[in-house]
Amino acid sequence: MEMTTTAQTKRTIAIIFGGRSGEHEVSLMSARSVLSVLDTAKYQVLQIGITRSGAWLTGENALTAFEQGNTSELLPVSLLPDSTRSGLVVHAGSQAERLVAVDVYFPLIHGTYGEDGAMQGLFEMADVAYVGAGVIGSAVGMEKGVFKDVMIANHIPVVPSFIALRSEIENALESVIERAEKLGHYPLFIKPANLGSSVGVTKCRSRADIAEGLMEAAQYDRRVLIEYGVINPREIEISVLGNDSARVSLPGEILPGADFYSYDAKYILGNSELCIPAVLNEQQTALIQELALQAFKAVDCCGMARVDFLLDPKTGEVFLNEINTIPGFTKISMYPKLWEVSGLPYSSLLDRLIELALERKQERSRTSHEYRRQA
């Protein structure tokens, strides 16, 4: 197997996008945005796309091929869970396989198999540097039900909710609906427990809506979150950056162009607005920033996260809604925009995320995996 060499003055960054998730298209948009900003004078960039069926493919213009739905000219590529063979294996048909050295992997796959700890587990087994949270932070941050339980254990306020299994929805729908109505008044929200970008989310104003929402969400996950709905909440978001010592951005506010910040409102209609920084008093800003840091630390997150809050306009209560360990990087995404307003330009943000990945890898390398019995 032939090992290719890269320019010594540049780090090689592998941008990974697509994936087996309902957020496949969002991932492509995030990758396009990152690739347009990443400094090619500093980095040699590899594009790795993962198809909806799970095939890993690479090529000079892999992202364009994925966007156009024509991946036939791309080459299969593998990351081996073998720490003794560091690099990407490019399968070139009758040609010799190539082992390509990579300094940092930058996953931009939102949702299942990318943001939920699965890919992070592969990175850990391969013993490589990668951007973003590890296995625990990714898995807990992704699973909305487990995440809420961790927040409650850390005395961080969340709205009341419960998890229903797909089997319960299919076999005891009426019982699940009755339990949902006991959460409180309408509206209620129903969400797949392991997806983002508002995929499969339904705002329910009646029993019929609940039944429809449960069946919709159950298509995307075997665990479905049913959640009390704050009436007309302000949606406030904070960006977090760092490893053990993290910092937070100024807060921003989402002004949805639809009834709530749905998938269409985010990516299709284009009529939602971002208010950056959010109009909050000093006490509200300080509280939301502190809660964001607490949540980041509670799930052992690292690298980056966007933490989302609901602010009740009547009572002033603040509820932590969710944490996104691979937040959107599209041209409209809040995560990079919040850092720009906070004094960190997009290109510098990417540089810092790569540095944090290398720092985290160095820290992991200090951990012994062999028991040495002392005499």
Q: What is the pLDDT at residue 267?
A: 46
Q: How much is the mean pLDDT over the chain?
A: 90
Task: State the Cα–Cα distance between residues 248 and 309, nearest whole angstrom.
Answer: 14
Q: What is the pLDDT at residue 268?
A: 47
Predicted TM-score (pTM) of the model is 0.88
Share of the chain above pLDDT 90, in %: 79
Q: How does pLDDT run across 122-178, given as a tens digit for each residue?
A: 999 999 999 999 999 999 999 999 999 999 999 999 999 999 999 999 999 999 999
Q: What is the pLDDT at residue 258?
A: 55
pLDDT above 50: residue 261: no
Q: What is the pLDDT at residue 256?
A: 78
Q: What are φ and ψ of residue 368, in 5° steps?
A: -80, 135
pLDDT above 80: residue 1: no
Interval 345-358 mean pLDDT = 97
pLDDT above 90: residue 199: no
Fold classification of 2-130 is: Rossmann fold (3.40.50)
Q: How does pLDDT run across 81-126, given as a tens digit for each residue?
A: 988 887 899 987 666 678 899 999 999 999 889 999 999 999 999 9
Fold classification of 234-363 is: D-amino Acid Aminotransferase; Chain A, domain 1 (3.30.470)
Domain boundaries, the chain: 2-130, 160-228, 234-363
Fold classification of 160-228 is: Dna Ligase; domain 1 (3.30.1490)
Q: How does pLDDT run across 18-33, given as a tens digit for each residue?
A: 999 878 999 999 999 9
Q: What is the pLDDT at residue 257?
A: 62
Q: Using alpha carbons, select from 182, 179, 151 the residue that is nearest to residue 163.
A: 179
